[in-house]
């Protein structure tokens, strides 16, 4: 069960954190993985880990906010692998601020990466997914990384929440437009412990990292943050044939936040 053998999966932002965990688990399940990253060092590290574990991965430069870069990356994937079966739109950036404290430049940057990036990558991937599906007889898959901020209010996350709300509704739209041919779902995590969290705490709360880590952990009723591997395991399921009857859905993985 949950095999991805023979499938080609493109994962944006796969150089660290959740994206890297997804790349590693997809490769472990037999997928050939295209690691899309703006950082050559980060993508190279992920590819090295995948190959060290016996998997198949290649790195592709991709700035998801620029159409030419996205088109070039997906053309390179097609040339390298000859097909595309799965797209995981994972690349994203965060921002802290209310509507009053969010600068226009910050709002634009969040939109460019978190919203436009999903649009551009999906637009580039859909023709490849449809072509692969027509030869294999199976649906293509798009999996987007949303957030609990797509569904509930979170303090000081105005621009970020805007972007993840858009990811949620783009998921619904793609699922509706490509019913029977491409499945599209999204995952909505609460806080997940990644290197980004550690860097944020070190920069924002020097000397108080452990105190603030505990405070952020306790936001989840289970009393801890999620793990990148837990999100990756859900991603494996949603992109596998076992989930072939699921489309247009959002899956919270939130430690109980949305039960309250």
- Averaged over 26-42, what is the pLDDT? 98
Q: Indicate the domain borders of the chain.
A: 8-190+228-252, 193-224
Pairing of strands 56-61, 182-189: unpaired
92, pLDDT greater than 90: yes
Cα Rg of the chain (Å, integer): 18
Spatial separation of the C-alpha atoms in residues 169 and 167, rounded to whole Å: 6
Distance of CA 142 to CAs 1, 92, 218, 235, Å?
A: 20, 16, 32, 10
144, pLDDT greater than 90: yes
58, pLDDT greater than 90: yes
Residue 123: burial class (beta carbons within 10 Å; 0-12, 13-18, 19+): middle
- Averaged over 50-54, what is the pLDDT? 98
260, pLDDT greater than 90: no
Query: Which CATH code is given to the segment(s) 8-190+228-252?
Result: 3.40.50.720
* Annotated catalytic residue 178: no
Spatial separation of the C-alpha atoms in residues 129 and 115, rounded to whole Å: 20
Catalytic-role residue among 160, 178, 237, 251: 160
pTM for this prediction = 0.97
Going by the DSSP 8-state scheme, the letter that residue 224 receives in this structure is S
On average, the pLDDT of the chain sits at 97
pLDDT value at residue 142: 98
11, pLDDT greater than 90: yes
Mind listing the pLDDT tens digit for each residue in 172-214?
999 999 999 999 999 999 999 999 999 999 999 999 999 999 9
Helix, strand, coil percent values for the chain (each to nearest 5): 50, 15, 30
Which of 68-72, 193-197, 245-249, 250-254 is the least confident region?
Answer: 193-197
Q: How many other C-beta atoms lie within 10 A of the C-beta of residue 177?
A: 11
- Averaged over 211-239, what is the pLDDT? 97
Cβ-contact 115, 166 below 8 angstroms: yes
Closest-CA residue to 155 (of 95, 106, 108): 95
- By percentage, how much of the chain surpasses pLDDT 90? 98
Cβ-contact 148, 211 below 8 angstroms: no
Q: How big is the CA angle at 48 (ends 41 and 141), to the nearest 5 degrees? A: 90
- Averaged over 51-65, what is the pLDDT? 98
């Amino acid at each position: 069960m949950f095999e991805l053998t023979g499938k080609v999966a493109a994962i944006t932002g796969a150089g660290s954190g959740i994206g890297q965990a997804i790349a590693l688990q997809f490769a472990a399940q037999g997928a050939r993985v295209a690691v899309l990253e703006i950082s050559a060092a980060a993508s190279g590290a992920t590819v090295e880990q995948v190959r060290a574990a016996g998997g198949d991965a290649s790195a592709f430069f991709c700035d998801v906010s620029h159409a030419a870069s996205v088109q070039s990356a997906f053309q390179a994937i097609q040339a390298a692998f000859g097909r595309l079966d799965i797209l995981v739109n994972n690349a994203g950036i965060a921002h802290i601020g209310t509507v009053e404290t969010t600068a226009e430049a910050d709002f634009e940057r969040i939109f460019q990466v978190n919203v436009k990036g999903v649009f551009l990558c999906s637009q580039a991937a859909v023709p490849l997914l449809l072509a692969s599906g027509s030869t294999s007889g199976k649906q293509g898959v798009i999996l987007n990384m949303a957030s609990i901020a797509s569904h509930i209010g979170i303090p000081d996350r105005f621009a970020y929440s805007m972007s993840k709300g858009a990811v949620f509704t783009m998921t619904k739209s793609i699922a509706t437009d490509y019913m029977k041919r491409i499945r599209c779902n999204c995952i909505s995590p609460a806080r997940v412990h990644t290197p980004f969290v550690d860097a944020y705490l070190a920069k924002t709360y020097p000397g108080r990292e452990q105190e603030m880590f505990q405070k952020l952990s306790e936001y989840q009723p289970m009393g801890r943050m999620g793990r990148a591997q837990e999100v990756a395991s859900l991603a494996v399921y949603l992109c596998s044939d076992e989930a072939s009857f699921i489309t247009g859905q959002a899956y919270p993985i939130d430690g109980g936040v949305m039960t309250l």
